[in-house]
Amino acid sequence: MFPYRNLLFLILIVLPLQAQTTLSGRVVTPTGEPLAGCAVFIQKTPHGLITSTDGKFSFELPPGTHTLRVRHIAFRDTAIDVATLPGKQDTIRIILHPSAFQEEEFVVSGNRRPISRGRCVRPKPSSSA
């Protein structure tokens, strides 16, 4: 019926794949240490993931401008705009700065009453009969 049916099918499959862009990167501290466990997600999309043990991540995205959000419990949230081009692989480096909670040293102390021996429970000796 259609002699070019297979060619048409191949074109319909390949074109959307070429339109995708790979956006990969690494999340690090200001000293360059990788940050594992960061939540990285693309704003206004369902795309999101957690960075690997060496702080790396990777997304397959359509071309255009995307807002990338990065969160970690001990660091300030960061948002950056990234422009991606069709068929191009982009690599970025994101530096997260410690939150105010992490920058200052704090000491936790407390008081307790001494434990007296009279309040301790002693096991009863077992009777052998």
- Residue 1, pLDDT above cutoff 70: no
Quote the pTM value. 0.64
Question: Over the stretch 51-84, which tens digit does the pLDDT of each residue have?
Answer: 999 999 999 888 889 999 999 988 999 999 999 8
CA 129 – CA 127 distance, rounded (Å): 6
Q: What share of the chain is helix, strand, coil (3-state, %, to 5)?
A: 15, 40, 45
* pLDDT tier, 110 (very low <50, low <70, confident <90, very high otherwise): confident
CA 37 – CA 56 distance, rounded (Å): 10
CA 91 – CA 88 distance, rounded (Å): 10
The overall average pLDDT reported for the chain is 81
- Residue 15, pLDDT above cutoff 60: no
* pLDDT tier, 17 (very low <50, low <70, confident <90, very high otherwise): low
Residue range 24-44: mean pLDDT, rounded: 94
Give the length of the chain.
Answer: 129
- Say what the pLDDT of residue 6 is: 67
- Say what the pLDDT of residue 87 is: 76
- For the chain, which domains are there? 20-95 (2.60.40.1120)
More confident site: 2 or 78:
78
- Say what the pLDDT of residue 13 is: 60
- Say what the pLDDT of residue 71 is: 94
